[in-house]
Amino acid sequence: RLARVLVGRMMISLLGVPAPDEHPDPVAWPRDEDALRAFGTGERLASIALGSAGSTYLTPEQVATGREIVAELTRGVPDGWRTAGPEQLLGRCRELGLGLEETTGLASLLMVAGTETSASAIGRTTALLIDTGEQHRLLAGLAAGETVTDTVRAGITQGTDIVEAAVREGLRMTSPASVIGRGVAADVEVAGRTLRAGERVMILTWSANSHVGPFRVDRPYVRETRQLWFGAGRHLCLGAALARAEISAVLHTLFDDGVPLRVVSRQAARKVLIPGYSRLVVARA
């Protein structure tokens, strides 16, 4: 619940979506229940893609359902586009000359792609830290103010905060977008296999990322992965920095007091596009 509330409230606030006219307390917007409602609407939209990963075709029924959900999800965007300040995304879109239709499309993308993936990574990274015992390495690193030495390029290193390293490692091991579909732009040979222009390929991001080794919070940056969990090139995740900040904030909240945690109960989410927990309860050990 914490993860869903956090990412839901962050997305509403960053976009600059105003409270609906019928909201009982506009001053308190967005409340936790508002964030959970927006998160749930995004989940419903994402669920339409279940079972369609191998095809770009959506049935007329799926399209109609998707349009209804998008209309519900973005109903506050027109007001936000007109009134939000330039420090918020809707206002920034207006200032840059993007029309309402373009802005609505971008907002719907961010409200779906930027919520479920982050919430999944928050819950699963927390569970990984506890299950593997790596929380003790994290706690020791926090107490000592340790950093992880990363090799940026040959002969050049930098120190990375231990929590930032744990966030990176959590994203590597969870890879919320575990499979990514892409189209082949030009004929190319990969590992002895010829891929033809126009063909569709599925990239098993989780397999590529997890191949590096087991979960360790002090693992230095693995250059070969290129942080593939955020995509690459023109498809690089627009919310990468936000996702890292959200996960980092939760880990600091959970572990800054130096007390280890235990899992009280958990339940895996079923029939979802993004693997995660429908319920994860932790307590002090």
All structural domains of the chain, each given as residue ranges with its CATH number in brackets, are 2-113 (no CATH), 116-284 (1.10.630.10)
Tens digits of residue pLDDT in 150-205: 987 777 889 999 999 999 999 999 999 888 888 899 999 999 999 999 998 888 99
Q: Is the dihedral of CA 136, 166, 106, 25 positive or negative?
A: positive
Exposed / middle / buried, residue 159 (Cβ in 10 Å: 0-12, 13-18, 19+)? exposed
Across the range 39-48, mean pLDDT stands at: 88
Confidence category of residue 59, pLDDT binned at 50, 70, 90: confident
Across the range 50-59, mean pLDDT stands at: 69
User: What mean pLDDT is reported for the chain?
Assistant: 93
Highest-confidence segment of 113-117, 133-137, 156-160? 133-137
CB 85 within 8 A of CB 91: yes
Closest CA to 42 of 90, 103, 106, 113: 113
CB 265 within 8 A of CB 281: yes
Top pLDDT among 58 and 253 is at 253
Q: Work out the percent of the chain whose per-residue pLDDT is above 70.
A: 98
Q: Kindly report the pTM of this predicted structure.
A: 0.91
Amino acid 51: pLDDT: 65
- Amino acid letter, 191: A
